Amino acid sequence: MRSRLRRMSSLRTTFTVSFAAVAAGVTVLVGFLSYDAAARLVRVDQQTVFAQVVADLRDQVSQKPLRPEDFAVSDKDHDTPRDDIIRPSRTVVQVLGPGGKLVDHSNPPLPVGADDRGIAEATRSGKLVEHANVSVGGDVYRVATVALGRGRGAVQVAQELSSTEDLLRSLQQRTVLLVGAVVLASGLFGWWLARRITRRLVRLTGAAEDVARTRRLGIQVPVTGNDEVARLGRSFDRMLGRLAQSEEDQRRLVQDAGHELLTPLTSLRTNISLLGRIDELPSAAREELVADLAEESRELTDLVNELVALAAGQSDTEPVQRLTLADVVEDAATIARRRTGREIVVRAGGDTTVDGRATALQRAVSNLLENAAKFDREGGAPIEAVVTGPRHPLQLEDSDEPDTGPPLGSVRVEVMDRGPGLEDGDRLRIFDRFYRAADARSLPGSGLGLSIVREVAISHGGAAFAHRRAGGGSVIGFTVGGGAAGRRE
């Protein structure tokens, strides 16, 4: 339990960290780009405004002669040259007289350097000198000095940069806080989402561990939703159902086999006990005893062989290949002729190509042929094996039953004899394991042959069937579904 919780916690942690990391990366990138764009826009705007102020000032002093006193005062109408500079940008203005003498200082006062004094002495109006990042009273300014011309002095205009940078720093701090909040929120949301996603995985893991611990395959797997986790749960549930059915089949096979083996083993044990005093028995009794032992050992061998064949058929280990079912039937008929000495006629019609397991199909056909030979003991007419493609006219031509028919795309195999036929009750049970009709109990056999036929048919996507034959006898066979080998219902 702790290990499971630790694995799920690790998965949740991975989901949470991954979600938070992606959200953090996106948020940081967007925040950085947004801040950079905003800072660049603000700085460019401020620089553009200051450049325009300087250009307007140069135009003023170039268009008409102005004196320092014209910039030193501001009237109530705000229409002086000084007001024209200050109004649009709240620019700091300081006026210099001849030789750079301070006529009207700004607040705070701007520093006057040798370059500024040289501009104040300039004879050409509009001459300019600029200073970047000038420190004034702990603040940073951008300063430009424009000559009035003819040595009359100069006007200094300055723009504070500190307030803009303070604004940008505040924006930067808010961006960082926003990024942190988004990362925290995405982490919490990622944890909630991971918990929601892994909750069903936890239940599915618990069901799998319960199966491994208790070996009970009948555990119900909780399945909700239609996503990949739900599909995994449904697949796991179907797998458990198949395993449970397989386990039940094996258990029933072992129980039935044990029951069927008990009779020949008991008879063998009884006859073997008589071997100790075989010398005391008459000659006819000795011959009968040896014959019984031989017959019982043969039946026991046949039973074991058919049990092995049935178990091998359930394993489905033989590879599927493309084959012609008519050829398989002909091969099985050749072997049956040699074993039984009976005449067997094979008829084929239509396309009998299927995907299947050749050995399993041949075993099923052989069981049908040997079953027909066993019940048609007089052998007055040949045994007929008919294999037809989908909906071929040869199908059921000798049957007095309605055509329930194989599904479209199926190939049909029928073995027909002139034996005693089938009773209605037997038709429903002859494919059950170890079932033997009343008139067959005196005949050799285990009751597994037709059960193997049904298993092979089902594993190939088809079904077994049995009918009465028109004119006497029976029709027993199976269908093979097109391309469905390996499927078990």
Instruction: Locate 375 and state its tokens.
Output: 């019940």
Question: Is residue 435 pLDDT above 50, yes or no?
Answer: yes
Q: Note whether 225 and 253 are within 8 A (CB).
A: no
| Bridge partners (DSSP) listed for residue 141 | 134, 160
Token duo for residue 43 = 């700085």
| Paired strand residues for 43 | none
Instruction: State the pLDDT at residue 482.
Output: 53
Q: How confident is the model at residue 347 (pLDDT cuts 50, 70, 90)?
A: very high
- Secondary structure (DSSP) of 366-402: HHHHHHHHHH--S--S-EEEEEE-TT-TTTTTTB-S-
pLDDT value, residue 478: 93
- Residue 244: per-residue pLDDT: 78
More confident residue, 73 or 230: 230
What's 461's DSSP letter?
T
pLDDT value of position 262: 65
Sorting pLDDT into bands at 50, 70 and 90, what band is 405?
Answer: very low
Q: For residues 412-422, give the mean pLDDT.
A: 85
The single residue listed with the structure tokens 């450049």 is 51
Cα separation, 57 vs 478, whole angstroms: 107
Q: Tell me the CA end-to-end span of the chain in Å, nearest whole number.
A: 36
Mean pLDDT of 19-31: 78
Q: Which residue has the tokens 């995994």?
A: 232
Check whether domain 217-315 has CATH 1.10.1200.10, yes or no: no
Can you tell me the distance from the alpha carbon of 130 to that of 139, in angstroms, rounded to the nearest whole number?
A: 17
Query: Where exactly are the structural domains of the chain?
Result: 11-167, 217-315, 318-391+406-483
Using CB atoms within 10 Å of the CB of residue 90, give its burial: 0 to 12 exposed, 13 to 18 middle, 19+ buried: exposed
CA–CA gap between residue 309 and residue 429 (Å, rounded): 20
Instruction: Give the model confidence (pLDDT) of 242-260 as tens digits.
Output: 787 777 777 776 766 665 5
The predicted structure's pLDDT at residue 406: 45
Please give the Cα distance from 35 to 417 (Å, whole number).
Answer: 93
Q: What is the pLDDT of residue 487?
A: 43
User: 378 falls in which pLDDT band (50, 70, 90)?
Assistant: confident
DSSP 99: G
Q: What distance in Å separates the CA atoms of residue 173 and residue 363, rounded to the nearest whole number?
A: 82
260-300 pLDDT, tens digit each: 566 567 777 877 777 777 777 788 877 787 777 777 777 67
Mean pLDDT of all residues in the chain? 76
The set of residues, in sequence order, having a beta carbon less than 8 Å from that of 450 and lying 6+ positions away, is 367, 368, 371, 430, 431, 464, 476
**CATH value of 318-391+406-483 in 3.30.565.10, 3.90.550.10, 3.40.50.2300, 3.40.50.11540:** 3.30.565.10
Beta strands in 255-332 (DSSP E): 321-324
Residue with tokens 């030789």: 99
Model-level pTM? 0.45
The amino acid present at 11, given as its one-letter code, is L
**Mean pLDDT calculated for residue range 76-105:** 73
* Strand ranges for 79-136 from DSSP E: 92-96, 102-104, 128-136
User: What DSSP designation does 279 have?
Assistant: G
pLDDT at position 162 is: 65
pLDDT score for 71: 78
Q: CA 414: distance to chain centroid?
A: 43
Residues 324 and 388: beta-carbon distance below 8 Å: no
Residue 318 phi, psi (nearest 5): -70, 135
**Residue (of 356, 374, 447, 448) closest to 415 by Cα position:** 374
Considering only 7-16, 175-184, 407-416, which range has the smallest mean pLDDT? 7-16
Name the residue with higher pLDDT: 407 or 339: 339
Fold of 11-167: Beta-Lactamase (3.30.450)
Q: Are 74 and 80 in contact (CB under 8 A)?
A: yes
Question: What is the Cα–Cα distance from 89 to 446, expressed in whole angstroms?
Answer: 110
C-beta separation of 400 from 453 below 8 A = no
pLDDT one-digit tens code per residue, 317-344:
678 899 999 999 999 898 888 877 888 9
According to DSSP, the residues that pair with 355 across neighbouring strands are: 322
Q: Which of 10-14, 49-53, 286-290, 401-405 is the least confident region?
A: 401-405
pLDDT at 426: 64
Strand order in the sheet with 102-104: 102-104, 92-96, 154-160, 139-147, 128-136
Asked whether 314 and 455 are in contact (CB, 8 A), the reply is: yes
E-strand spans in 149-271? 154-160
Predicted confidence at residue 338, as pLDDT, reads 80
DSSP designation for 269: H
- What single string gives the DSSP state of each residue in 418-460? -SS---HHHHTTTTSTT---GGGTTSS--S-HHHHHHHHHHHB
CA 349 – CA 412 distance, rounded (Å): 10
In the predicted model, is pLDDT for residue 233 greater than 50? Answer: yes
Q: What is the C-alpha to C-alpha distance for residues 321 and 486, in angstroms, rounded to an integer?
A: 11
Are 485 and 355 within 8 A, CB to CB?
yes
Neighbours of 227 (CB within 10 A): 10
